[in-house]
Structure 1
Amino acid sequence: MMLEQILLVGHCVPDTFMLKSKMQQLFPDVAVNATNDQSDLAAKADDKTLLLVNRVLDGMFDVEGGIELIGKMAQESTAPKMMLISNFAESQDQAVNVGAIKGFGKSELGSPETEDKLRKVVQA
């Protein structure tokens, strides 16, 4: 079952544009949206969504960082699939430990490995 939405969480405007462009190129049949607000996130995210969560959240959220947000959302019964966007291996490990699928850094966005990783999650 293909996911219905990719939601970009807590990214600045230039990064949102870059990520959204790449996701639309890879997955033209999947809605790609962005949020920088906790209540908007709660309204948009469900178990048919992949969240691409920034390590350092930009916007109005109930938590300080992306890893904490992933840990909090992973507790929900309808938790979305979540990946951390970070170049730091330690941060990726922390995110996986609290419920994320191993993500990637912005510098890896165009790599074949990252594209394969995303396809496996979105088209699962």
Structure 2
Amino acid sequence: MSKRVLDVGNCGPDFSSIKAFLTKNFDCTLDQAHGMEDSLAALREGNFDLVLINRKLDRDYSDGIEILREIKADAVLKDIPVMLITNHAEHQDAAMELGAKRGFGKLEFGNPETLEKLQPILG
């Protein structure tokens, strides 16, 4: 059965790259959200298997970690796996402290470790 992924805060070209990477390696579909309001609305309306949040949202350069906080504080949404998209280890660490799974950066699509992180959720 196909998995559903919500991609939050990436620009069009980055969304396309993430979509190509994920759909090449997993049976999944991607939806896109741009900020707090549409992300939470999409999550409440649909059944998503994974949320990928850009560390800095393309729309207004706000911090994606705030969306992570809201998801993990919501009793209905808190169990959905979330990963932060960033190349910076310190931001990955901060996201994990809030309940996220260790994510990956846009430069890490070709790394076998990235697929290993995603396999338990999307495989």
Which category describes the TM-score, using the shorter chain as reference length?
A: 0.7 to 0.9
Determine whether 1:67 maps to 2:65: yes
Question: For 1:98 and 1:104, how far apart are their aligned partners in 2?
Answer: 16
Question: For 2:32 and 2:57, how far apart are their aligned partners in 1?
Answer: 12
User: Is the Cα–Cα contact under 8 Å of residues 3 and 50 in structure 1 kept in the other structure?
Assistant: no
Q: 1:59: Cα distance to partner? A: 2.2
Identity of aligned residues (%): 35
Question: Which residue number corresponds to residue 107 of structure 2?
Answer: 107
The count of aligned residue pairs is 119
User: Is the Cα–Cα contact under 8 Å of residues 8 and 51 in structure 2 kept in the other structure?
Assistant: yes
User: Is the Cα–Cα contact under 8 Å of residues 5 and 50 in structure 1 kept in the other structure?
Assistant: yes
Question: For 2:60 and 2:89, how far apart are their aligned partners in 1?
Answer: 26
Structure 1, unaligned runs of 5 or more: none
User: Is the Cα–Cα contact under 8 Å of residues 8 and 57 in structure 2 kept in the other structure?
Assistant: yes
User: Is the Cα–Cα contact under 8 Å of residues 84 and 92 in structure 1 kept in the other structure?
Assistant: yes
TM-score when scaled to structure 1?
A: 0.84
1:67-97 CA distances to partner (integer Å, 9 max, x unpaired)? 1211121111222210000000000000001
Determine whether 1:53 maps to 2:53: yes
Question: For 2:48 and 2:18, how far apart are their aligned partners in 1?
Answer: 19
Structure 2, unaligned runs of 5 or more: none
Let me know the Cα RMSD of the aligned residues. 2.0
Q: 1:111: Cα distance to partner? A: 1.0
Which amino acid in the other structure matches residue 19 of structure 1? I
TM-score when scaled to structure 2?
A: 0.85
Which amino acid in the other structure matches residue 77 of structure 1? A
User: Is the Cα–Cα contact under 8 Å of residues 2 and 29 in structure 2 kept in the other structure?
Assistant: no
Q: 1:3: Cα distance to partner? A: 7.3
Question: Which residue number corresponds to residue 4 of structure 1?
Answer: 3
Superposed structure 1 runs of 4+ greater than 3 Å apart:
none
